[in-house]
């Protein structure tokens, strides 16, 4: 796992994103971080991240996660991110890589449902349980044939059939940050970003939204397995 590509793409004198100076493996043994960041860059997408070997493995999910097992969401694997990125919420300046507004849409822990995560990633079939504030239960990332110049980076994010599956569109029902309870437009306004652009990633005015309070997290079933 390396942060070289992450660092090459960013100018940290301009962008407020974490520079990734912390060393992999320096943190004490604990549950594995999971986070989804809603990101209104050139297009709205959701960055799905799982901690492994001291970094955040990352996939860009254009339409966001679906609780419906019949819906397969495209997830394009991107460069690894530093663990500190899991708490980043703010505005990346326009003209910089990923310029736009970033929200921590969901976070929590993840538990591998496989004995060897590295082998599962190599095979292209990673099963896991999410213990987030919005997303819960069993999921899978499956590598697909993909398209274009990076066919090996194309995956599908799919919810497994369990009692937590649903046909509700959770990206519409729960659009706010789990950290600040703000919408994208609020984050842009408070950080000098493009409010009009950010607002295109928020629900239309007049939409019936759930309370900004986070959903109740189910009791944990087990601790994360060893990496």
d(CA 150, CA 135): 28
Tokens 């708490």 correspond to what residue?
A: 87
Segment 50-61, tens digit of pLDDT: 999 999 999 999
Identify the pLDDT of residue 18. 75
Identify the pLDDT of residue 126. 98
Within 68-151, strands assigned E span 73-82, 90-92, 100-112, 125-132, 136-143
Segment 89-144, tens digit of pLDDT: 999 999 898 999 999 999 999 999 999 999 999 999 999 999 999 999 999 999 99
Nearest to 124 by CA among 54, 59, 69, 61: 59
Q: Which residues pair with 39 in a beta bridge?
A: 45, 102
Report the share of the chain in percent with pLDDT over 90: 71
Helix (H, G, I), strand (E, B) or coil at 166: coil
| Mean pLDDT value across the chain | 86
d(CA 40, CA 23): 29
Segment 3-30, tens digit of pLDDT: 777 666 666 677 777 777 654 444 545 7
Q: Which helix (H) or strand (E) holds 195?
A: helix 195-199
d(CA 111, CA 138): 9
């Amino acid at each position: 796992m390396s942060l070289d590509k992450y660092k090459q793409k960013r100018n940290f004198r301009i962008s407020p994103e974490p520079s990734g100076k912390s060393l992999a493996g320096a943190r004490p043994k604990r549950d594995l971080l999971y986070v989804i960041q809603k990101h209104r860059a050139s297009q709205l997408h959701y960055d799905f991240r799982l901690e492994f070997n001291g970094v955040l493995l990352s996939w860009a999910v254009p339409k966001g996660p679906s609780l419906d097992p019949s819906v397969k969401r495209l997830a394009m694997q991107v460069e690894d991110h530093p663990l500190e990125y899991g708490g980043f919420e703010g505005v990346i300046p326009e003209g910089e890589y990923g310029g736009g507004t970033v929200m921590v849409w969901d976070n929590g822990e993840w538990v591998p449902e496989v004995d060897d995560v590295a082998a599962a990633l190599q095979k292209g079939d990673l099963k896991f349980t999410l213990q987030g504030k919005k997303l819960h239960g069993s999921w899978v990332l499956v590598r697909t044939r993909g398209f274009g110049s990076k066919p090996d980076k194309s995956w599908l994010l799919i919810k497994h059939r369990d009692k937590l599956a649903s046909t509700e569109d959770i990206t519409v029902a729960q659009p706010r940050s789990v950290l600040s309870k703000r919408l994208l437009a609020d984050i842009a306004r408070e950080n000098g970003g493009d409010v009009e652009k950010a607002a295109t990633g928020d629900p239309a005015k007049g939409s019936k939204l759930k309370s900004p309070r986070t959903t109740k997290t189910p009791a944990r079933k087990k601790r994360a397995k060893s990496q």
